[in-house]
Structure 1
Amino acid sequence: MTGGTEDDHDPPRVTAIGAAAVDEWYAVSNLPEPDGGAYASEVETAPGGVGANVAVGLDRLGRDVGLVSRVGDDEYGDLARSWLAESGVDGSRVAVGDEPTTRSVILSAPDGERAIVTAGESFRELRLDPPTLESIVASEVVFITAYAPDRVARAVLDRVLDVPESDRPALVFDLSGPVEELAGRGTEPETVYGYLHRADLFVAGGVAAPAYFGGREAAIDRLRAVRTPSVGPAVLTHGADGMTVVAEGESTRIDGFDVDVVDTTGAGDAFLAGLIDRWLLTDRESAGGRDRTDLLDAVRFAAAVAAINCTERFTQTGLPTREALEAFLATRDVDLR
């Protein structure tokens, strides 16, 4: 089955390509060591998946966003679609197939740290038919996660680059998993490097980046060489240690916000939603275009979205509205341009 059916309405301003999944969340006494154990005092089910998390995060910030995904024809798929229907995200291109819905078991420790195991074949079997691909490139911004099957990631990259530069959507790539986790499931290293050189915004997590580049400093050095003035910026996220912004051959370290952490699950997805909102969707034309100060402000804005997300259980329930975000920044005396 393909990624959706053709429809008559205009494409959303942002299209996110990623899983709409179900998170089975366990509040455990500890993250077990090899051959060790843990006790779960609570077990709950919540919406998840990188694609759905980013899409819902943008929707909470008031953005027009659609999701391209695939779920199974089972109770988990029904849950994922019902949760999506409760949001403002356009789910018309979420396909339904015969494979089990993608779902994750999340072990969440008292300090908010977690371990995640994912199963289910539904998103792995995503394919894009021509109408879906054309709808994707007609959006203003296209977000794709490295968990997307390689054939999908390659098709999107090739089609975006086929669009005349003046009409081309901004392309955002999230290097969301290490090589061994994505092997045979997600985007292959060769395709990742295509996005590294072509994406308008390249984001990599603290676990994924070293796996591809050989360490944090090696990643920064590599990105400095690649992210020239003609290529958009890159951001490396380091969890509680903040972020590194790489643009035009320079790197800048930015601290995160201190909050009482309840659950770090999905903090990276929340960060992505905030960064897309502030860097790519905020109109800067009247101020003479975007500059480095705007970029650093966008990263701080995104860090605030991620921080708020960490103060709540589950990803999507913790994603803030714009009003909540502005109130948070005001209490921290953060004045963004």
Structure 2
Amino acid sequence: MSDPRVVTVGNTLIDHTYHLTNLPGPDEGAFVQAYEQRLGGVETNVAIILSQLGHSTGLISCVADDEDGDDLIDRLDSSSIDDLQIHRLPNKRTSYCLVLTDPDGNRAIIGGGESVLELTLTDTDIATIEAADAVFTSAYAPLEAVERIASLDTPLVYDLAGEFTDLTERGLTRGALDDLAPDVYRFVTNISAARSYLRTDAEPGDCCAQLVARGFEAGAITCGSDGVYLFDEGQVRRRPAFDVEVTDTTGAGDAFTAGLIHAWVLEEMTMDEVIRFASAVGGLNCTVIGAHGGSPTLSDVTDFLD
């Protein structure tokens, strides 16, 4: 088999998804209307969605030597990811997420387990990344692994996937992210994570300018139903979210990222084309249940945009 065109490095886990009557606040309750287990993780989701868009993909990750790890291996073997390099970790717990959703598609996500934090890249992993056209990872991956990836020549797409109240527990600091900035080809984040990193309440457009000042050459800030901002040095584009019937927002950001990698890294579209295409992938992903169970194909996206 030929080398995958895009390699993702980091999370693979089980999403324990609870469909609730409502998302409870402090001292509030909710009733579970349905429960399901799904294959998840930022890097896993992006790899699967990119494969739906027609690209060969690879995943480098780590699971524990436990029952959840066995389950994950089985699920990954049945997925559309072409190349799997999954390490097994003894005497730890496989990483997992609790996903709480309400009838309007809103959600809360709680992560746990140790396996994703223990990922160490091997020489074989590095060779796979070096042979790819692009590599994707996120702030959920171990910093040492991300720094090793950033030192390579393969274009790096990096997702600041959470706020620093969460990420500092995983070993990421603002200073370390500053140091990574010059080696990140495309930076992706959401507005809450961007403000957390920058320690600001600024509007998204101003956050784009601050990210450029920090050393990130180009990237995107997603703002949920308020749309997305795309920046490339001094240029900024904004696009409202597409008006779609939302069923489940789980994986919407990962779908946007997959669309961005397709359009901006692999196909080298213009900024206006990129923001439109990636927004369409993210929007269409919200019309189905799950992060990637019914993610759009390339023809789905082009038909939607015509």
Q: TM-score range by the shorter chain?
A: over 0.9
Query: 1:182 aligns to what?
Result: 167
Aligned-partner SS, 2:293? helix
Kindly state the Cα deviation for residue 270 of structure 1 after the two structures are TM-superposed. 0.6
Query: 1:305 aligns to what?
Result: 281
- Cα 1:112–1:216 change in 2 (3 A) is farther
Instruction: Give the distance between the partners of 1:170 and 1:155, measured in 2 at CA.
Output: 13
- Cα 1:122–1:54 change in 2 (3 A) is same
In the TM superposition, 1:13-52 aligns within 5 A as 13-52=5-44
Kindly state the Cα deviation for residue 120 of structure 1 after the two structures are TM-superposed. 1.0
Instruction: Give the distance between the partners of 1:17 and 1:224, measured in 2 at CA.
Output: 25
Instruction: Give the distance between the partners of 1:21 and 1:313, measured in 2 at CA.
Output: 17
Kindly state the Cα deviation for residue 234 of structure 1 after the two structures are TM-superposed. 1.4
Query: 2:98 aligns to what?
Result: 105
Which of the numbers 55, 58, 81 marks the counterpart of 2:73? 81
Q: Is the 8 A contact 1:209 1:215 kept in 2?
A: no
- Cα 1:224–1:183 change in 2 (3 A) is closer
Instruction: Give the distance between the partners of 1:186 and 1:54, measured in 2 at CA.
Output: 23
Which of the numbers 138, 149, 165 marks the counterpart of 1:145? 138
Q: Is the 8 A contact 1:141 1:170 kept in 2?
A: yes
Superposition TM-score, scaled by structure 2 size: 0.93
**Identity value in percent:** 37
2:273 counterpart of 1:281: no
2:306 counterpart of 1:322: no
> For 1:103-133, what per-residue CA distance to the aligned partner results, in whole angstroms no more than 9, with x for missing partners?
1111101111101111111111111122312
Query: 2:127 aligns to what?
Result: 134
Which consecutive residues of structure 2, in runs of 5 or more, have no partner in the other structure? none
> For 1:121-177, what per-residue CA distance to the aligned partner results, in whole angstroms no more than 9, with x for missing partners?
11111111223123212211011111001111122213x1xxxxxxx2211111101
Instruction: Give the distance between the partners of 1:315 and 1:69, measured in 2 at CA.
Output: 18
In the TM superposition, 1:185-204 aligns within 5 A as 185-204=170-189
Query: 2:150 aligns to what?
Result: 157
Which of the numbers 8, 12, 16 marks the counterpart of 2:4? 12
Q: Which amino acid aligns with 1:299?
A: I
Instruction: Give the distance between the partners of 2:125 and 2:145, measured in 1 at CA.
Output: 11
> For 1:79-124, what per-residue CA distance to the aligned partner results, in whole angstroms no more than 9, with x for missing partners?
2222222223134311121221111111101111101111111111
Aligned-partner SS, 2:162? coil
Q: Is the 8 A contact 1:146 1:186 kept in 2?
A: no
2:107 counterpart of 1:119: no
Query: 2:208 aligns to what?
Result: 220
Instruction: Give the distance between the partners of 1:304 and 1:102, measured in 2 at CA.
Output: 30
In the TM superposition, 1:199-210 aligns within 5 A as 199-210=184-195
Q: CA RMSD in A?
A: 1.7
Aligned-partner SS, 2:296? coil
Aligned-partner SS, 1:240? helix
Kindly state the Cα deviation for residue 17 of structure 1 after the two structures are TM-superposed. 0.8
Instruction: Give the distance between the partners of 1:186 and 1:40, measured in 2 at CA.
Output: 33
The worse-fitting range, judged by mean Cα deviation, of 241-250 and 129-138 is 129-138
2:244 counterpart of 1:259: yes
